[in-house]
Structure 1
Amino acid sequence: MKAAVLFEAKQPLSIEEVTIAKPAAHEVLIRTVAVGVCRSDLHFVDGAYPHAMPTIPGHEAAGVVEAVGEEVRCVKVGDHVVTCLSAYCGQCEYCVTGRMSLCIDAAVRRPKGAPPRLMLGDVPVAQMLNLSAYAELMLVHEHACVAIDRDMPLDRAALLGCAVTTGAGAVFNTTDVTPGETVCVVGCGGIGLAAVNAAKIAGAGRIIALDPVPEKRAMAEKLGATHSFDSAAETVADEVVALTRGGVHHAIEAVGRPQSAATAVKVLRRGGTATILGMMPLGEKVGLSAMDLLAGKRLQGGLMGSNRFPVDIPRLVDFYLRGLLDLDTIIADRLPLDRINEAFDELRRGETTRSVVTFG
């Protein structure tokens, strides 16, 4: 199969012929139809986060089940599926206490000594985030995918695997927005726009979007933002606090920069909560001042939208099919696999929302 292989950080990906194994017990072979180009992949490509090499990035995908191994019960051949990097074992403390997105049990990977799922000649290829989706086929644990309604277009469905699950999940799960509460979203890429749209679905009152790119702010308003401001302006936090007469109930950071996290804290009202979704540079810290603590402000992370994806993703599909969740607006471009490096260059410029690699 053709796949985009990363041999070295800070170098372009190379389209190579990679061998994929047959499904073992509890494994699913998926024909990839669409993959989103996510900034999380870019962190590994640019070397901000370490990973074993060679590897195949890509983690925001949808496709069709080609084959299943023994004991697979979650999906069957022919199912349309969305994959999710937060594969869950179903047995650890995190899983049985309802925090499936925190599961890191090795049971979802092949055991040591077993043949690898991916090979490049006689060299094993490290599978990224349990998926490695920039490839014509994916071989994953059955708990890394979920079947969806076949009426759902798979290029839109791919976005549910990360951006929408993370952004919408931050609203529905991590912060549990109450109707009428105010929400500020810092950063209007794919994740931030999904958070804006979800805040509208959740019945938030004022929904404020912050981004330095005017086109992204306009898109946020189309998706449900009641107000938008230039996040690069020095007075932006003061403007949000003034507009909301004391600050917002919930601030969601969807960029992954210390400055954005600081803005998320600054715009909070007393007792408000800041949720950080973006992947910060390793070594960075985000904190609350003594006065923030005295004001009852809270700061939290929100890995993958605190998802229970076997339940959450079909619900998000339903939202789309009923016209509540707007995924069409979020997609900026569709391109073939051999243009993956162009897509990453566009992502580095920060002017686009979401590109999707499609396999025709």
Structure 2
Amino acid sequence: MDECIDGWLAGWLAGWLAGWLAGWLAGWLAGWLAELAGWLVANGETLRCAETVEPLQPLNVTSRPLPEVPDEGVLLRTLYAGICRSDVHFIDDETKAGNNNGLGDSFKGAVLGHEICGIVDVIGKEVPADCPLKVGYTVIVYPWRGCRQCEACSANESHLCENTAGGATDIGRGGEHVGGYSTHVAVPEWTLLVRVREAIPPQIACLLPCCGLTAFASITKARPNLECAVRMRGRANLLVIGTGGVGTWTTLLVKCVFCDKNVNVICADVNAARLEEAAALGADDVIEWDDAADVDEIVATTTMGGYNKMDAVIDFVGTTRTQTAAFRSLHHGGAIVAVGLYGGQVALPVRSLVAKSVTLHGQRVGSVHVLRELVDLLSSQRPQKYPMVEYFGLDDINSALDKLRKGDLKGRAVLQFST
């Protein structure tokens, strides 16, 4: 009996000691790595980045000292960064797409890139001990930081902040916070980070904070109308106007949200190649609009002469023409979600708006909570196919921007950094 007790005790002690030692070693190693990274920051380690020089001029790829680690934030090592069309608007000084003011001196030296996926290198000294992030974790950055002081920001709805003209206080939007066109990014608050696991490839994850989030938030706005149609008719029709980067993401995400396949996704575009991509991602039907056709012809083609109307429309183009076509294609009780910024006026007949009980939404990105929901959705659904991506190195960023301007990209442009 004593031998059994002795054997059990020895086994228990050995297991406890092994577990304690493994935990201690893991903690020591994490601390050592953090100290090493901090030492590198303090001893002249540099980053490489692409910065603005003059409007309409190529970005300058250069070196800078590593920034100090924010007390309440982290220093990231960038893995991938998306190149968004709004970055082109900034680089080309198309200020009517931003804050409607000349950018002036604030233009020079800006490091853009608000779609960022990276690895946590150093954690700030005032980050709470119960923070779920650890050195070495793969994360994405929620860039819509806001002013951090207004009612919207205090309620974690910083994407609705009214005090961030042109995105000046956001990350990678031309203000003081360096973006993803850089090998390292100092994120001012750890709460702006969302961990991503192996289920989502990092080269895809980088696109979630803007492109993916905008698509998902737009679907969320249209969802009540689609679900109402399913209850009434057993199915619903969603029209996606414009199948560029965000439009194709919408096609994918609708299929993830409505797994029962009762929601039909109809994609419309003037570009046949983009429609092929939408079909490959699960669109139930694609319609190539004639760029020269009038609204009457577009509506007739889209709704099969009125026999197949839409329950919701998400418009990623945003012109008077597309908004009018969207409204006239709707069933009673339908919804329009306006996302595109090509410009124009929304001129809708008030009587018809009321009589048809149509809901109008404008959508600009979404909250950090919605981003977390999106990450959870993709982690659980694990799509077999994502929208196309074309990769570029940091030294090739100007080539990527030129291809984006000309519409020659195969999908979204993503910067790939060496790991």
Q: TM-score, normalised by structure 2?
A: 0.72
| Contact 2:69-2:75 at 8 Å conserved across structures | yes
Q: CA deviation at 1:190?
A: 1.5
| Contact 2:335-2:360 at 8 Å conserved across structures | yes
| 1:63 aligned onto 2:118 | yes
1:78 & 1:65 partners in 2: Cα distance?
Answer: 5
| 1:169 aligned onto 2:227 | no
The residue number in structure 1 matching 2:107 is 53
Is the strand fraction higher in 1 or 2?
Answer: 1
| 1:299 aligned onto 2:360 | yes
Q: Pick from 242, 248, 267 the counterpart of residue 193 of structure 1.
A: 248
Q: Which moved more, 1:218-227 or 1:146-155?
A: 146-155
* Cα deviations by residue, 1:255-302 (Å, 9 ceiling, x for unpaired): 354443343333222221111122345xx4334223442322222111
* Cα deviations by residue, 1:117-147 (Å, 9 ceiling, x for unpaired): 99xxxxxx9537x551111111113232211
2:161 & 2:287 partners in 1: Cα distance?
Answer: 37
* Cα deviations by residue, 1:212-266 (Å, 9 ceiling, x for unpaired): 2212101111112111111334223222222772521111112354443343333
| Contact 2:320-2:347 at 8 Å conserved across structures | no
Superposed, which structure 2 residues align to 1:136-215 within 5 Å? 136-141=183-188, 142-173=190-221, 175-176=223-224, 177-178=226-227, 180-203=235-258, 204-215=262-273
1:198 & 1:140 partners in 2: Cα distance?
Answer: 28
Is the helix fraction higher in 1 or 2?
Answer: 2
Which protein has the larger Cα radius of gyration, Structure 1 or Structure 2?
A: 2
| Contact 1:288-1:299 at 8 Å conserved across structures | no
Superposed, which structure 2 residues align to 1:181-330 within 5 Å? 181-203=236-258, 204-233=262-291, 234=293, 235-242=297-304, 245=307, 247-281=309-343, 284-294=344-354, 295-305=356-366, 308-309=369-370, 311-319=372-380, 322-324=381-383, 326-327=385-386, 330=387
The residue number in structure 2 matching 1:334 is 391
1:174 & 1:102 partners in 2: Cα distance?
Answer: 19
1:151 & 1:291 partners in 2: Cα distance?
Answer: 49
Query: In structure 2, what residue type is equivalent to 1:22?
Result: E
Q: Which moved more, 1:269-278 or 1:59-68?
A: 269-278
The residue number in structure 2 matching 1:122 is none
| Contact 1:31-1:63 at 8 Å conserved across structures | yes
1:225 & 1:326 partners in 2: Cα distance?
Answer: 13
Q: How many residues align?
A: 340
Cα RMSD (Å) of the superposition?
3.0
5+ long unaligned stretches in structure 2: 1-46
Q: Which has the higher contact order (CA 8 A, sep 6+)?
A: 1
Say if 1:240 and 1:345 are closer, same or farther in 2 by CA, change over 3 A.
same
Q: TM-score, normalised by structure 1?
A: 0.83
SS at match of 1:182: strand
Say if 1:326 and 1:244 are closer, same or farther in 2 by CA, change over 3 A.
farther
Say if 1:296 and 1:143 are closer, same or farther in 2 by CA, change over 3 A.
same
5+ long unaligned stretches in structure 1: 112-116, 119-124
| Contact 1:274-1:300 at 8 Å conserved across structures | yes
